[in-house]
Chains A and B, each alone.
Chain A
Amino acid sequence: MSATQVTDVDIPEAGDTGGLGKALRDYFIRVKGGEVGSLPAVAGLIVLIALFSILQGGTFFTALNFANLINQGTAVIVLAMGLVFVLLLGEIDLSAGFAAGTAAAVLAVGLTKYGLPWPLALIACLLTGLVIGLIIGLLVARLGIPSFVVTLAAFLGLQGVMLLIIGEGGTIGIQNDFLLAIMNRNMPVWTGWLLWLLVILGYAFVTFRAIRARKAAGLSGSSASVWAAKVVSLAILLGVGVYLLNGERQIVRAGKQSCVIMGPPNEPVGCIPILQGVPWAVLVVLLLLVGLTFLLSRTSFGRHVYAVGGNTEAARRAGIKVSSIKITCFMICSTLAAVAGVLLASRDNSVSPTTGGAQTLLFAVGAAVIGGTSLFGGRGRVVDAIVGGLVVAVIANGLPLITSQSGIQYVVTGGVLLVAASVDALSRRRSSASGR
């Protein structure tokens, strides 16, 4: 048939250029139809911050604590970003935490025992993650073992591998300045603002160009007012964050400076004169967010990941190589776990058998799901990991300021995860019922 015979298209548009009000109405309709995205997580984040600020009075909502929050949350966020890829397929990776630990152990041993220069050790660390992901992916996609079982085995196995690599010594210290700087140093104030400006301009430019291209092609897109509102709100939100982080974070109590130790262990413990600026770790998260979001939403690989997660059989019939998509996703997940391992090692200044253990993985899965990534596959974004990771970090950070009972923290985190999973399940039912 000749598709060119009709140039005038009479399909009415849902998203016609109708300004802010229309955009808000459309969004509301989508939410009602079950496409809630990260809305519950953002709402939860605001509620939690407000709650802790009121209950705790003072300490929670401080610049220092904001920086702490980022410091505590970064590794979980990066781990969760990797898990998003696996969750999008409808699979799970329980071993990501110990993949992080194992990769960190390789890094530490490479640096100390073998005296490798740090770039080589870093490459070895990331390769460790890549290989772990490849093996898991092959077992899941080619052999057809459920990912739950494969990664459960890897969870146990990697724990052992990690112990073997670290050896009997227990803890290996990290002395490399570059690696330590990632989690322990901050950008100069001006760099933080420059980064802020670049992000806002970049976002504005990319979205503006997309809107203009759609207009030029005669397709409907969001209007200029919607675009401006988005850019301005992003600028304000990130601006507040940068402003808080750029403030002096040392606590001054009754005229006496109480010192915060943020340096590597070999630095003399004492007052650090200036403690301000955006942590460098934020840059790592930002770069990963941009890169991975591009991969998921702008490339055919990303599209195929969603397709496999949404309907594997349909993807197969459309000629998509399902097993290579799966293997690649597991490799991305474990490689990001290795990045998280580097962050953990940098934060703790060392690698020990508990690196990446304990609740790290569960918090990361929780972060991805709380952020709006579906456990059923096919729905989720990389930015979900950040929103969800912040929720988890706020709980982990805020509760101890209120109560000394650590039991409550687990109960609350578990409860929030359950709420998130329920929202996921309900919205799934909602969207399948809203046949229009």
Chain B
Amino acid sequence: MTNPAPILELRGVNKSFGAVHVLRGVDFNAYPGQVSALVGDNGAGKSTLIKGVAGIHSFDSGEYLFEGSPANVHAPRQANALGIEVVYQDLALCDNLDVVHNMFLGREEKQGVILDEITMERRAKETLAGLSVRTLKSVRQQVSSLSGGQRQTVAIARAVLWNSKLVILDEPTAALGVAQTEQVLKLVRRLADNGLAVILISHNMNDVFEVADNIACLYLGMMAAQVHTKDVTHGQVVELITSGRSGDIGLQPEILANGAVA
């Protein structure tokens, strides 16, 4: 399987918080039409990497290429302008607003100063229909009345509403039951099938193997490997997560030794 040109390419990015060197020369690619899983133990640097991509904080050094050209991303708005959307684990939805209001929050459609509810409702419905979402009773329902899976659906639909090219999902199934997890994973797969690049952060290996095209394993702030899903087994990925190395793939022993010291 050959990869298309990556839409997002990170080369040797570093990030430190004070004395703590969180990301050490990380390379990472995300491809259009593919789900790239980002896995790693707690504290491996997944969140830091994602926050850097989303512009919440900027990398100290290294290259950030978007669609092949260097991008300057130092604020969430700049990332949004490129077509990067993040769905956070805590969803960031307003319970007291309905589905349409939430999807357009902060970017409302207007006619003059008046909110254009009709256009917003139509676009929201089109987006949900484009994702084959059939679980919502009405787009005018308040979010407080939705289940966890439905909320996740709304959050993801919001992310794809903006002609986005890269959607980052932070543990989208962490709080869901079996049936709802299945629903959300199907949705994640459809995003990629619609041509978007998807980055999926997950701790759940079953989820990763079900939807991901490639898997990137972070180990102590270093990229152990980014491999095709079909080239590795469950056990190998777990080994990469826990020790940074599995057979011939992963970090070189001497790097691992240095890493452990620092």
Residue of A nearest to B158 (CB): A318
**Contact call A320/B105, Cβ cutoff below 8 A:** yes
- A15 — which chain B residues lie within 8 A by C-beta? 138, 140
In the complex, A319→B77 CA distance in Å?
A: 8
In the complex, A432→B114 CA distance in Å?
A: 30
Q: Which of B17-25, B37-45, B188-196, B235-243 contacts A (4 or more CB under 8 A)?
A: B188-196
- B110 — which chain A residues lie within 8 A by C-beta? 300
**Contact call B147/A298, Cβ cutoff below 8 A:** no
In the complex, A85→B138 CA distance in Å?
A: 28
Q: Which of A1-9, A101-109, A163-171, A281-289 contacts B (4 or more CB under 8 A)?
A: A1-9
- B147 — which chain A residues lie within 8 A by C-beta? 435-436
B197 to chain A: closest CB distance in Å?
11
**Contact call B196/A311, Cβ cutoff below 8 A:** no
- A435 — which chain B residues lie within 8 A by C-beta? 144-147
- A34 — which chain B residues lie within 8 A by C-beta? 144
**Contact call B115/A319, Cβ cutoff below 8 A:** no
Residue-wise interface mask of B (53-79) relative to A, using a CB-CB cutoff of 8 A (1 in contact, 0 not) = 000000000000000000000001100
With A1-B196, A306-B94 known as contacts, the answer to whether A434 contacts B145 (CB < 8 A) is yes
In the complex, A213→B196 CA distance in Å?
A: 34
B129 to chain A: closest CB distance in Å?
4
Residue of A nearest to B92 (CB): A314
Chain A contact residues: over half helix, strand or loop, or mixed? loop
In the complex, A381→B221 CA distance in Å?
A: 50
Chain B contact residues: over half helix, strand or loop, or mixed? loop
With A10-B129, A313-B92, A378-B95 known as contacts, the answer to whether A299 contacts B113 (CB < 8 A) is yes
Q: Does B128 contact A (CB under 8 A)?
A: yes
With A11-B128, A11-B138 known as contacts, the answer to whether A298 contacts B115 (CB < 8 A) is yes
A307 to chain B: closest CB distance in Å?
5
**Contact call A319/B121, Cβ cutoff below 8 A:** no
With A9-B129, A315-B105, A378-B96 known as contacts, the answer to whether A219 contacts B138 (CB < 8 A) is no
B31 to chain A: closest CB distance in Å?
15
**Contact call A303/B105, Cβ cutoff below 8 A:** yes
- Most A CB contacts (10 A, CB to CB) among B76, B88, B129, B147 go to B129
**Contact call B96/A310, Cβ cutoff below 8 A:** yes
8 Å CB contacts to A: which residues of B77-115? 77, 80, 88, 90-97, 101, 105-108, 110, 113-115
- Most A CB contacts (10 A, CB to CB) among B97, B106, B134, B146 go to B106
B175 to chain A: closest CB distance in Å?
13
A10 to chain B: closest CB distance in Å?
7
With A13-B138, A217-B122 known as contacts, the answer to whether A1 contacts B96 (CB < 8 A) is no
- B80 — which chain A residues lie within 8 A by C-beta? 319
> How many A residues are at the interface, by size bracket?
35 or more
Which residue in B95, B107, B121, B160 is a CB contact (below 8 Å) of A219? B121
Residue of B nearest to A8 (CB): B129
Q: Does B259 contact A (CB under 8 A)?
A: no
Q: Does A379 contact B (CB under 8 A)?
A: yes
**Contact call B96/A379, Cβ cutoff below 8 A:** yes
**Contact call A319/B122, Cβ cutoff below 8 A:** no
**Contact call B108/A300, Cβ cutoff below 8 A:** yes
Q: Does A113 contact B (CB under 8 A)?
A: no
In the complex, A431→B146 CA distance in Å?
A: 10
A395 to chain B: closest CB distance in Å?
29
Q: Does A348 contact B (CB under 8 A)?
A: no
**Contact call B139/A11, Cβ cutoff below 8 A:** yes
- A307 — which chain B residues lie within 8 A by C-beta? 94, 97, 101, 105-106
**Contact call A310/B94, Cβ cutoff below 8 A:** yes
Q: Does B183 contact A (CB under 8 A)?
A: no
- A434 — which chain B residues lie within 8 A by C-beta? 144-145
**Contact call B126/A3, Cβ cutoff below 8 A:** yes
Q: Does B127 contact A (CB under 8 A)?
A: yes
29 A-B residue contacts at CB 8 Å? A1-B191, A1-B196, A3-B127, A6-B129, A6-B130, A9-B128, A10-B129, A13-B138, A14-B140, A15-B140, A33-B145, A35-B142, A219-B122, A299-B113, A304-B106, A307-B106, A311-B92, A314-B94, A317-B76, A318-B92, A319-B76, A319-B80, A319-B107, A320-B106, A378-B94, A378-B96, A431-B95, A436-B137, A436-B147
Q: Which 8 A-B pairs have the closest CB atoms?
A: A318-B106, A310-B94, A1-B194, A310-B96, A378-B96, A314-B92, A14-B138, A319-B106
Residues of B whose CB lies within 8 Å of any CB of A are 76-77, 80, 88, 90-97, 101, 105-108, 110, 113-115, 118, 121-123, 125-130, 133-134, 136-142, 144-147, 160-161, 163, 191, 194-196
